[in-house]
Structures are given as structure tokens and as C-alpha cells.
Amino acid sequence: MALAFDEFGRPFIILKEQEQKSRLRGLDAQKSNISAGKAVARILRTSLGPKGMDKMLQSPDGDVTITNDGATILEQMDVDNQIAKLMVELSRSQDYEIGDGTTGVVVMAGALLEKAERLLERGIHPIRIAEGYEMASRISVDHLERVANKFEFDESNLEPLIQTCMTTLSSKIVNRCKRSLAEIAVKAVLAVADLERKDVNLDLIKVEGKVGGKLEDTELIYGIVVDKDMSHPQMPKQIEDAKIAILTCPFEPPKPKTKHKVDIDTVEKFQTLRLQEQKYFDDMVQKCKDVGATLVICQWGFDDEANHLLMHRNLPAVRWVGGVELELIAIATGGRIVPRFQELSPEKLGKAGMVREKSFGTTKDRMLYIEHCANSRAVTIFIRGGNKMIIEETKRSLHDALCVARNLIRNNSIVYGGGSAEISCSIAVEAAADRYPGVEQYAIRAFGDALESIPMALAENSGLQPIETLSAVKSQQIKDNNPHFGIDCNDVGTNDMREQNVFETLIGKQQQILLATQVVKMILKIDDVISPSDY
């Protein structure tokens, strides 16, 4: 009620410049919100599953991205509608938390909204729907816990991990070589994983891409690849058993932070200063040499003279290496980042078995490989591909695969994919619905229906008859009391996802359901939308 009355009965206006704002209230507001949410979900629906299609996005600057990663699509979509922005946020949080299933979560939320709309039309209060959804989501999360399998792997048997990563990759354009990419992802994660603490720091995995070559040339390097070359063209291009000094101080004359001035007023001073300067350069290089370094990696630039001195003393050097890369190099080679020349000491040097410069293609593209490091806990995945878009998409796909592998190491429970988990949850939710007295029962049932939309979309995208396939699978699940039946997207001939080796992580699935429910609840609770009207 924007119109209120004072004690004399005269109306006054509460909202500022009320007449200039458009406003939606009650059922209209909810419906408009729901339809916006549904519209976003509809865009992503066709991207779900191994046969899902891609979207082409053109950014404001004309760059083209081709992807079927839900989070990326939504992020680059340039969405204006507030509710649509919530959906974008939803898939982003799934991405941050889990890294995979970003499309599924939006499709799920869309389905929940669609079912809610029908209930609203029947006069059920949105809060009751929201509560029903909440209960149902709890039921399904518990149910997932029950049907989940523990899945065993160790360093000698990586096959299960690879299979799971392959499930993730199979929906991307890179599925042509999903096997090799999955292996790369798993090996990379295991290389940096802390199996005792069950944690993986994905920051230690550097994903670097370079156009050219083919996807099959993508490789995992136990070491670091930096997009840099030696500072002097005549320095050696290959160093074996390198001892690396990692510096964050430039090979340049000192720049004290305090303000100072050196005044030159006599010829003697001029000459001493000159000598000092020369000595300074000499000292810098000598210090590096003294501690036994055979390669200098520096965050900053070099003065020409310093550069030549380095070359002259046979000390190869790399300049302008970024901070993050520097850290990775330090981790990989077991060295310490040294901020001052005075602090250089032999034990602070990093060690690498081989450092080499490699050139690519016909242009002046060179990269520096640091391999056989003392500590192989930092690795690089080096992606090759025919064009920029493929490389970007491969990076995203690998990110998903890495996240999945990480989640499995954190928590090795899995549920089966292909929509089987959703169908089984839906059966459980519907069975539970009857036990709830009150209006919520309807909402819970609607939730069960909504869960089916994921397998439905999978079947649709795979070119199967959606309703027929779904009902067949559902009845099969109930009959055999086996939650492993799902949609056979790749036309393999069996519905049993256990045989097809299609898994997803338990936490990922649970998170999807919880996040989708939360957002839907939030949207349902909005009953008033005030926006400045167009001008």
C-alpha cells in the first residue's frame, strides 16, 4: 500500500516519485518473476547432457564464446532482469562450491518455479509452497545419502576417478578425446592432492593454452610452463639441473622507498657515484652467482647493463614473470621467493631437472618449460587446439573435470548419473508426500514432479521420446528397487548407469537440489516488485 492517510484522512505518498515507478504486486508479481526465471532455465535446458547443444555468445566487444557450460553462458548473457540475475547467481554459486552441474541446477530451479506457478493458480499460499519444497528437498537429500555408493580408489587404481571425469567431459565439445583429458585431469589433481587431509588446492594446477596443434596434443607437464623467454637472445635455451634463484627485486639500481635526493655538486661525487653504480650491478650478479644459481627468474625488468652482465657471467635469466607464476615456480622447485639480493642463500634456490625454451609455429612464440622439479606438487596442463574458442572451452571443461576429481577426493560418495538419481529421488519424495497432512503435501508432490524434469530434458536432448522413456525407466526403478536406472543418452543399449559407468558426486547432486530450492523459495517470497519506469 503505497497510499497512506494521515490523521485527517488526507492521502499522502510514501514512495518517492511514486507515479514514475511501475509496480507489480501479489500474484502478478510472482507470476512475472516465475516467468523470468523459467525463461532463463529454458535457454539452458537444451545444453544439458551428453547430447546437449552449445550456445554462441557475443560479448559487448564482439568477442565470440562458444560453450555449453551453464555458468559461463549465464555470466556472459548480459542479463537485465533482476530475477534472471538471481538465476545467474545461482549457477555461479554452484560453480564456486562444486564446479560442475551448473546447468542442471538452473534447469532444476526452472522446473520448480513452473510447478509452483500451477500451485499458485490453485490458490495455495507461496509460503506454504516454499515450506513444502523445503521439506521435499530435505527428503531428497537424505534419500541421496542412502542410495549413494562409497567408491574406492587409490593411487594404483585410478580408473573410477577417470570414469567420473569422463562423465563430466562427455557433455562438452572436447568429448572427442575425453579419455585422455580425463586422465590428465585426474593425474593433475592427484599430483597436487593432499590425500591425508583430503584436500586439493586447485590453484596449484596451472591451465595454460596456446592455439595451434590439435586437441590430442594437450599434455600434462609435471612442472611449470611460463609464457616467457630468456631475457637475452643469446642465453642458453636449455639448462639441465637448474638451480633457480627466484627474485622479486629488479636488476636495476636501488629505489629506496623513503624520499631522498643524491646531490651531485662536485666532479668527485659524480665519479664515485658512477663507480658505485657499476659496483652495484656487479654485486647483484655476483651474489646470484655466488650462491650457485644457474638460472634467475625475476618478477621485474633488467637494466641493459645488468642483462649483459648476466649473459656474460653465463647466468641465464627470465624477466617480467607474473606474481602467481612466480609463486607456482617457487612451490614446484622447492625454492623460496627472495625479495632482496642480500638474502640470497644456497638453500633458498629452487631445483629443476630441466628448464628449456620451446618455440611454436611460425611466429615468435616461445614458452619456458620448467620440468623435473624438486617438488612435483605444482603441475601445468598445456592445452592445444585449432582455434581460440576451442581452447577456451577446453579450459572450462577441464576446470569442471578438475573440480569433480577434487570433490571425489574430498568425499568419495557417488550417485549414478543419467538422471537416475533424480528419478529415484522423485519416487522417494512422492512416496513421502502422502504422509504429510496439510497443504504442503501438494508442494512436496510438485517437487517430485519437478525432479523429473532433468531426466526429461536429458531424454529430449538425446532425441528420445521424453515421456515414454521416463515412464519406462521409472517403472523399472520401482519394479527392481534399483536406483541405478537412468536415461540411456548415448544409445549404448542399457539403462543401468552402473554398467555405463556414469557417475556424479554425491555432494554435487545434493548441492544442486539445495541451491535450487533456496533460490526458488526466495523468488516465491517476493510479492512486490517496484522498479523505476522506463523513460
Partner 1 sequence: MAIDRIFKDEASEEKGERARMASFVGAMAIADLVKTTLGPKGMDKILQSTGRGREVTVTNDGATILKSLHIDNPAAKVLLDISKVQDDEVGDGTTSVVVLAGELLREAEKLVASKIHPMTIISGFRMAAECARNTLLEKVVDNKADSEKFRSDLLNIAMTTLSSKILSQDKEHFAKLAVDAVMRLNGSTNLESIQIIKKPGGSLKDSFLDEGFILDKKIGIGQPKRIENAKILVANTAMDTDKVKIYGARVRVDSMARVAQIETAEKEKMREKVQKIIGHGINCFVNRQLIYNFPEELFADAGILAIEHADFDGIERLALVTGGEIASTFDNPESVKLGHCDLIEEIMIGEDKLIHFSGVAMGQACTIVLRGASHHVLDEAERSLHDALCVLSQTVNDSRVLLGGGWPEMVMAREVDALAKKTPGKKSLAIEAFSRALLAIPTIIADNAGLDSAELISQLRAEHQNKGCTAGIDVISGSVGDMAERGICEAFKVKQAILLSSTEAAEMILRVDEIITCAPRRREDRMEIFHLFCNPVLRHWIGNGVVVVGGRMLTFKSSNEKPIDFRRAKICSFPIAKVKVLDNNSLSSRASWPLSEGEKEISVRGEKNVWRCHHRNNGV
Which of the residues are catalytic? 69, 102-103, 400
Of 65 and 426, nearer to partner 1 (C-beta) is: 65
- Element housing 316 (H / E): none
Using the rule CB under 8 A, which residue among 200, 311, 370, 487 binds partner 1? 311
Residue 438 within binding range of partner 1, rule CB under 8 A: no
Residue choice 51, 143, 445, 521 for contact with partner 1 (CB under 8 A): 51
Contacting residue, 363, 435, 481, 535, with partner 1 by CB under 8 A:
363
For 361-372, letters b (16+ CB in 10 Å) and e give: eeeeeebbbbbb
Taking residues 92 to 131 in sequence order and writing x for each that binds partner 1 by CB under 8 A, - otherwise, the string is x--xx-----------------------------------
Cα distances (angstroms) measured from residue 101 to each of 68, 79, 105, 124, 177: 11, 21, 6, 31, 21
> What's the DSSP call for residue 157?
B
Given 154, 234, 435, 493, the residue binding partner 1 (CB under 8 A): 234
Pick the closest to residue 400 from 116, 106, 95, 157 (CA basis): 95
Helix, strand, or coil (residue 354) = strand
Q: Give one word for 9, left, alpha or beta, with left for phi > 0 and alpha for psi -120 to 50.
A: left
Sign of CA dihedral 23, 27, 30, 34: negative
* 286 sits near partner 1 (criterion: CB under 8 A): no
CB of 247 to partner 1, least distance (A): 11
Q: Which is nearer to partner 1, 360 or 436 (CB)?
A: 360
Q: Which of residues 444-473 bind partner 1 (CB under 8 A)?
A: 463
- Considering only 21, 199, 238, 301, the residue that binds partner 1 (CB under 8 A) is 301
- Contact call for residues 263 and 406 (beta carbons, < 8 A): no
Build a one-symbol-per-residue string for 187-226: x at contacts with partner 1 by CB under 8 A, - elsewhere.
Answer: ----------------------x-xxxxx-----------
Interacting residues of 230 by C-beta distance below 8 A, sequence separation 6+ = 236, 237, 316, 317, 318, 357, 368
152 vs 491, beta carbon nearer partner 1: 491
CB of 317 to partner 1, least distance (A): 13
How many residues touch partner 1 under the rule CB under 8 A: the total is 109
Give the residue, chosen from 13, 127, 324, 492, that forms a contact with partner 1 under the rule CB under 8 A: 324
- Supply the minimum distance, in Å, between the C-beta of residue 250 and partner 1: 9
- 262 residue type, one letter: V
Among 270, 342, 475, 480, binds partner 1 (CB under 8 A): 270
Shortest distance (Å) from residue 395 CB to partner 1: 6
Longest CA–CA span in the chain (Å) reads 101
Q: Min. distance of Cβ 80 from partner 1 in angstroms? A: 4
Determine the interface stretch with partner 1 among 146-154, 246-254, 427-435, 448-456 (rule: CB under 8 A). Answer: 246-254
Q: Does 346 bind partner 1 (CB under 8 A)?
A: no
Strand partners, 13: 3
Please, which residue, 21 or 388, has the CB nearer to partner 1?
388
Nearest CA-CA partner of 414 in 63, 177, 160, 211: 160
Position 339 contacts partner 1 (CB under 8 A):
yes
Q: Tell the smallest beta-carbon distance from residue 133 to partner 1 (Å).
A: 22
- Which one, 76 or 376, has the nearer CB to partner 1? 76
Neighbours of 179 (CB within 10 A): 14
Q: In the complex, what is the shortest distance from the CB of residue 511 to partner 1, in angstroms, rounded to a whole number?
A: 16
Which residues 19-38 are close enough to bind partner 1 by CB under 8 A?
28, 31-32, 35-36
**Nearest residue (CB) to partner 1, 287 versus 399:** 399
Task: State the binding string over 53-92 for partner 1 (x if CB under 8 A, else -).
Answer: xxxxxxxxxx-xxx-x--xxx-xxxxxxx--x-------x
State the nearest-atom distance from the C-beta of 444 to partner 1, in Å: 26
Q: Is 156 in the site for partner 1 (CB under 8 A)?
A: no
Say whether residue 406 binds partner 1 (CB under 8 A): no
Residue 268 class from Cβ within 10 Å (0-12 exposed, 13-18 middle, 19+ buried)? exposed
Cβ atoms of 520 and 512 within 8 Å: the answer is no
Continuous segment of H or E residues that includes residue 305: helix 304-312
Is 470 in contact with 62 (CB distance < 8 Å)?
Answer: no
98 φ, ψ (degrees, to nearest 5): -115, -40
Task: Give the C-alpha separation, 453 to 418, whole Å.
Answer: 12
> Measured between alpha carbons, how far is 88 from 37 in angstroms, rounded to an integer?
10
Which span sits near partner 1 by CB under 8 A: 135-143, 315-323, 347-355, 465-473? 315-323
Q: Which region, judged by CB under 8 A, interacts with partner 1, from 47-55, 451-459, 479-487, 507-515?
A: 47-55
In the complex, minimum distance from the CB of residue 268 to partner 1, in angstroms, rounded to a whole number: 9
Question: How near is the Cβ of 276 to partner 1 at its closest, in Å?
Answer: 7
Q: What is the CA radius of gyration of the chain?
A: 30
Confirm if 451 and 516 have CB atoms less than 8 A apart: no
Question: Buried b / exposed e across 396-417, counting CB within 10 Å, b at 16+?
Answer: bbbbbbbbbbbbbbeebbbbbb
